[in-house]
Amino acid sequence: RAMKEMGRQFVLGETIEGAMKRAEELEAKGYTYSYDMLGEAARTEADARRYHLSYSKAITAIAAAATKGDIRSNPGISVKLSALHPRYEVAKRDRVMEELVPRVRALAGLAKAAGLGFNIDAEEADRLALSLEVIEAVLADSALKGWDGFGVVVQAYGRRAGAVLDWLYALSTRLDRKIMVRLVKGAYWDAEVKRAQVLGLDSFPVFTRKQATDVSYIANAKKLLGMTDRIYPQFAGHNAHTVAAILDLAQTAGIGLREFEFQRLHGMGERLHDLVLADQGARCRIYAPVGAHRDLLAYLVRRLLENGANSSFVNQIVNEDVAPETVAACPFDYMEQVSSIANPAILTAAELFWERRNSKGFDLTDAADLAAIEAARAPHETVLFDARPRLAGSVAGGQRLDVRNPATGERVGNLLPAAAVCIIALAMLERDGLWVALGLAATVGAFVWVGGIAYGLVKSAIFVVMNAF
């Protein structure tokens, strides 16, 4: 029962038809809608096909409500790329471009024919670069020329948000398109911080202070308001301070209230957006999840994490113990007073164990890290490694064997198995108890040696590992 009640609060309907029926009440007041079919990343090809069919049916259904000539006044749909391919990851880049791009193009073509807005949702930071490749390939399709409904979601908590906006503006200019950009705060903060710590990365892909995210949002909102010749800005959020800042920025820049829109989530920020719609005359759209309660949990957890935090505007605005001045505090003033942009309470991977420096890792989805590893591997690509047993400094072994990379069949070295004399010698050491003493000393020495050089050799060692397993 509790899940059903919360589902009704945060989900517009279990079916697209039911959601559209329920949307009619607020549409009559001037709101428009962007529908999102609930569901997480596809795990199998069957999942991907099911989600693709669900999106296709939803677009067909929503088309009936797209009766206005201005696409900005029509409903739209949001699509998750991870729902359309089971291996949506950098390691499978070629397969993603070959299989996912046609699926997204097909859906975009349906949306264009229906006169809908079509937004690509933002997801985790490790797939950002791959998502931009997919977006570029889809938007470059000549069949989509003349359609202003293609949209991209950008997360302001991401430290690359401004660069992404610049890239999208340059892309739309080069392709002679006008696109939509929905600016959001971001929904995966906890996961992004934890991933960076687990992988041993030097820093985080997101801002670690809420106020830094707020500053980023307003700064990027100003950037978007300067790009309206190619981009239709969509400002999603429930923070009154942010909304007021955007209205002031637009007025200062001479941007009309019909040249951008505000967005809110279904079930949140109703009063604020009612005021913006009625008193300011600005466009307002509701992002409305649609789906069965069995698909609700992951979405619901993200909403509770986002708005349950003590620093959340939605949380503070209803808390009578929080002074109005605190709720509406200027994030710029706060950031000017602190000594660092990063939050010192959020420890990087290297700092997690305080007195002991944690191990360093590599982000195998990051182009810079991959390039560094490839550069370190290059000198070893022509080297043949030789593995052999040694007895008192001399080599003693049996028949030499080739070692090949199981993925490519390429020969990477030789293996000389231990000969009988080596095995007998080892047995004698064990019998006399000498191996235990020798092994302890050797082990301690080895750890000291490895600890001193491992950091510098780790990229080279990756070459050996990649070719051996």
Give the Cα separation of 269 and 264 in Å (integer): 6
Residue-wise pLDDT for 161-190, tens only, equals: 999 999 999 999 999 999 999 999 998 899
Same structural domain, 313 and 385: no
Residues 93 and 162 placed together within one structural domain of the fold: yes
Domain of residue 419, residue span: 367-468
335 plus 276 within the same structural domain: yes
Q: Give Cα separations from 249 to 221, 316, 387 (angstroms).
A: 8, 25, 67
Residue type present at position 17: E
- Output the pLDDT for position 248: 96
Longest CA–CA separation in the chain, Å: 92
Tell whether 170 is covered by a domain: yes
Please state whether the predicted TM-score (pTM) of the whole model is above 0.75.
Answer: yes
| Predicted confidence band of residue 451 (pLDDT cuts 50, 70, 90) | very low
Candidates 84, 10, 85; CA nearest to 300 is 10
* 164 and 288, same domain (yes or no): yes
Domain count, the chain: 2
390-426 confidence digits (pLDDT tens): 665 565 556 788 999 888 888 989 888 877 777 777 7
Q: Is residue 141 in some structural domain?
A: yes
What distance in Å separates the CA atoms of residue 189 and residue 156, rounded to the nearest whole number? 11
Which DSSP symbol is given to 419? P
Specify whether the CB–CB gap between 197 and 347 falls below 8 A. Answer: yes
Provide the sign of the torsion angle of the four alpha carbons 153, 155, 158, 164, taken in this order: positive
Q: Which pairing describes strands 261-265 and 231-236: parallel, antiparallel, or unpaired?
A: parallel
For residue 403, what is the enclosing H or E element?
strand 401-404
Token code pair at residue 199: 């992988």
Average pLDDT along the chain: 86
What does the pLDDT look like over 458-467, one tens digit per residue? 555 555 555 5
pLDDT digits (tens, 9 = 90+) for 206-234: 999 999 999 999 999 999 999 999 999 99
Residues 156 and 245 in one domain: yes
DSSP 423: H
Whether residues 331 and 385 share a domain: the answer is: no
Q: What is the pLDDT of residues 336-395, one digit of tens each?
A: 999 999 999 999 999 999 888 888 899 999 988 899 888 988 888 888 888 877 665 565
Question: Would you place residue 452 in the very low, low, confident or very high pLDDT band (cuts 50, 70, 90)?
Answer: very low
Residues 12-68 have pLDDT tens digits of: 998 999 999 999 999 999 999 999 998 878 999 999 999 999 999 999 999 999 999
> What pLDDT, on a 0 to 100 scale, did the predictor assign at position 469?
46
C-alpha span between 191 and 213 (Å, rounded): 16
Both tokens of 251, joined, read 């007025």
Q: State the Cα–Cα distance between residues 415 and 418, nearest whole angstrom.
A: 10
Q: Are residues 136 and 272 in the same domain?
A: yes
Q: Which two tokens stand for residue 326?
A: 């605190």
Q: Indicate whether 110 and 22 sit together in one domain.
A: yes
For the ranges 157-161, 206-210, 240-244, the lowest mean pLDDT is seen at 240-244
Q: What pLDDT is attached to residue 9?
A: 78
Spatial CB neighbours of 406, under 8 Å, sequence gap ≥ 6: 469
